[in-house]
């Protein structure tokens, strides 16, 4: 099994097979427009522009599961990303990334690459960890996605090779993307 076996909903509601991305390096990200990590859209777009000609595709999946931080419609999400951050990589339809209604793609991603902890060097790591312990302790259990802007790196064969929590530095993400593109 690989990510190419999954069909997802595009921003316009149409189904899209991830098999269309065969041979590409994918960075799959669950996103939100009103999160402390939302400025990562800027760095993600910069990464996309820098490496898209070498085969990188970033796929954004908006999710409203984390403290209601993605309240807009699919159209509003798309407009927000383009207007505020110049996002040109694909943004898909909103959907759940954890729990009983999670998109099958995200169940697969988290099974392939489990949670290994937040990056302690990030200034928000302790804040995020404490907020989860106090408000959403069940989110810390298991390998499911813990918060917005969790990223999964997929190689050209459709295999999930890395997971980055929202607290991972984009320099680290970029270095792993570069290695994968070689």
**CB contact at 8 A, 88 and 48:** yes
Report pLDDT digits (tens) over 30-79. 999 999 999 999 999 999 999 999 999 999 999 999 999 999 999 999 99
Distance (Å, rounded) from C-alpha 36 to C-alpha 123? 11
Strand ranges (E), the chain: 7-9, 15-17, 25-31, 56-62, 151-154, 160-164
**CB contact at 8 A, 167 and 128:** yes
5 secondary structure, DSSP code: G
| Residue whose pair of structure tokens reads 């970033």 in the numeric block | 58
63 tagged catalytic: no
Residue 73, Cβ neighbours under 10 Å: how many? 11
| CATH code for the domain in which residue 71 is found | 3.40.30.10
Q: How many domains in the chain?
A: 1
**CB contact at 8 A, 152 and 28:** yes
Cα angle value 145/147/153 (rounded, 5°): 55
What pLDDT score was predicted for residue 124?
Answer: 87
**3 has a pLDDT exceeding 90:** yes
Distance (Å, rounded) from C-alpha 110 to C-alpha 105? 9
Report pLDDT digits (tens) over 91-150. 999 999 999 999 999 999 999 999 999 998 888 899 899 999 999 999 999 999 999 999
Of 35, 81, 176, 180, the active-site residue reads 35
Tokens for 50, please give them.
Answer: 């820098």
Helices and strands (DSSP H and E) totals, the chain:
5, 6
Distance (Å, rounded) from C-alpha 149 to C-alpha 118? 12
Domain carrying residue 68: 3-181
What pLDDT score was predicted for residue 115?
Answer: 95
Tokens for 73, please give them.
Answer: 């419609």
């Amino acid at each position: 099994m690989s990510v190419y076996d999954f069909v997802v909903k595009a921003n316009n509601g149409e189904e899209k097979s991830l098999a269309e991305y065969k041979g590409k390096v994918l960075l799959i990200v669950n996103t939100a427009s009103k999160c402390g990590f939302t400025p990562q859209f800027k760095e993600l777009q910069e990464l996309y522009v820098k490496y898209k000609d070498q085969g990188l595709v970033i796929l954004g999946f908006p999710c409203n599961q984390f403290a209601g931080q993605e309240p807009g419609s699919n159209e509003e999400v798309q407009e927000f990303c383009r207007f505020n951050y110049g996002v040109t990589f694909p943004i898909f339809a909103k959907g759940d990334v954890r729990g009983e209604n999670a998109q099958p793609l995200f169940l697969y991603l988290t099974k392939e690459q489990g949670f290994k902890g937040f990056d302690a060097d990030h200034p928000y790591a302790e804040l995020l960890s404490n907020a989860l312990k106090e408000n959403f302790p069940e989110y810390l259990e298991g390998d499911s996605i813990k918060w917005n802007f969790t990223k999964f790196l997929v190689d050209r064969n459709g295999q999930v090779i890395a997971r980055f929590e929202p607290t991972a530095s984009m320099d680290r993400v970029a270095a792993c993307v570069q290695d994968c593109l070689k």
